[in-house]
Amino acid sequence: MADEALPQEEKKKGGKIKWIILAVLIIALAGGGYFAYTKFFAAPAEETQAEEAGDQQQAQQPAEGQLVPLPQFLVNLADPLGRRYLKLGLEVEVRDEKVTENLTKNEAKIKDTMLLLLSSKTFDQLSTLKAKVELKQEIVRRLNQILGNGSILRVYITEMVIQ
């Protein structure tokens, strides 16, 4: 009879261990699923904030200017190995015809400024959405320094290739 009591106690212990292992596995799978969701599927907070900021700026400023294309820019990026380049096509929204004339008159200054700005950037500084929005704002600031404040309303990226 003593022999019969031992297997029942072992079965009870083995049953508890199975439930503990099962609970640990479920918790581990839930944690892994949460990690995969946040890492691969959920949009990062900085990108959503940059999108919202860009949408708010466009909503605040009415479309009142005309679009003027700038020449395409092809520059080497400031990466350590120097093997990456950027091809960028832009259109700028200007206030009036007078600004369009100033754009053509100051084309050499604009090209120089843009080439220096773009070639100082690295791949990491251009790879996120937030970085692209900041680049557009910086281009507007630089062009307004050349042409006068308020001349350039917005900059639109029409083509961007980083290789």
Q: What is the pTM of this model?
A: 0.60
Count CA atoms within 13 Å of residue 147 on its CB side: 30
pLDDT tens, residue by residue, 71-92: 999 999 988 877 889 999 999 9
Q: In angstroms, rounded to a whole number, what is the distance separating the alpha carbons of residues 93 and 151? A: 9
pLDDT (tens digit, 9 = 90+) per residue, 95-120? 888 888 989 999 999 999 999 999 99
Domain boundaries, the chain: 63-162
Q: What is the DSSP string of 119-163?
A: HT--HHHHSSHHHHHHHHHHHHHHHHHHH-TTSEEEEEEEEEEE-
pLDDT on residue 57: 59
Give the pLDDT confidence score for residue 139 in this predicted structure: 93
The CATH code for residues 63-162 is 3.30.479.30
pLDDT, position 51:
64
Residue 15 binned pLDDT confidence (cut-offs 50, 70, 90): confident
- Give 33-84 pLDDT, tens digit per residue: 888 888 888 766 666 666 666 666 555 555 578 899 999 999 999 888 778 8
pLDDT computed for residue 91 by the predictor: 94
